[in-house]
Structure 1
């Protein structure tokens, strides 16, 4: 009933939908959280509206990057020459897996980056004079959180362009397993690092003189949290090229 060429189309279309659909959940919620906190802060500090608007837009732009990564993968799945008539089961699995890993890989980071941005806006509403320090540390924390989505992007690109074709069911399952490992393995670190960054800027707004201690603790906490996504990355590589 289904020939392999039709299944290649199905896998690419499902992968594209998963990539954009799942990633948009995290990005949309994160951006809304930022805007909501910016609005509240503007009511508290009307004279700082320009600073808050700028911080809000910067934070939302960074939160959007995961969804942009997913959009790129979706476009490559649809128009990047991935759909070929001679494809086997491994190609079918790799196309589906590329979309899955990119979508799931951006969910936690979107939420985490959005939380950090929202807390920065809230902090500026509390301490407008510390806006530069708060924005700088927000950006650092968001960058740390974004690394998990970049790991997912790497695996997605490898699935699209560096995996061998064939009809091995075992290898096909290994590709999907790599997507599960990296996609879901990024949720905790991406969201967790965002929480660390958000609490750091919140603490700086409350206790500005303790900023150096808070930032140092943020780096240590983020590094420990990031280790789990590195575990997922290692397993994903093993499933792609060793299994």
Structure 2
């Protein structure tokens, strides 16, 4: 059982697993990894693993929202995932459509705002349509922002930002001096995550310990948390454990305390 305290001076007791309500990460990002291996371990088709992974999203969305996380970014489909077998890619796209069609009203009812990062123009038409519908329906919601990373890559994101800067330069919105004096904050405003704070913590289930081209610009001072549990088995308890560990770390951002 998890307990919560609102005292900024409270010491977290490992035996009680107390979460400090005043130190909840604003932005949690998750690499949803391990669906295929989860299925293979059970001698099931990989498609069943992806189905189980999609079905797990709601639990994590609710768990994050309940404790006051403002942004939850889920790495759902990378720019490299197109290299997977066509039937697996097709299954992932169909599951995305099914999930949003089934859960959109519930997400809206719970004040969740749906956003995306990545070049969704390359996705199948049904995916684009349901994503646009989800964004429009929830655009005025003020609760948790569910940020779906689709056809997203960290390197592509940096290149996207560079092209946007150059486009503004060509249009005359920026002059040579503006470009020369461009700050990191300015550059961030040209990325897919413009307006979204950098992730405080990046979580990766499945036992792998790499970023896999995820939020490369944005993760400069993110905390990392890994688990051997596959994504379909990644419960709210694991989410809270990750946040508990985050709260017990010393984040200095290059400074000395």
TM-score (normalizing by structure 2): 0.24
Query: Larger strand proportion, structure 1 or 2?
Result: 2
Query: Larger helix proportion, structure 1 or 2?
Result: 1
Q: Which of these two proteins has the greater Rg computed from alpha carbons?
A: 1
TM-score (normalizing by structure 1): 0.25
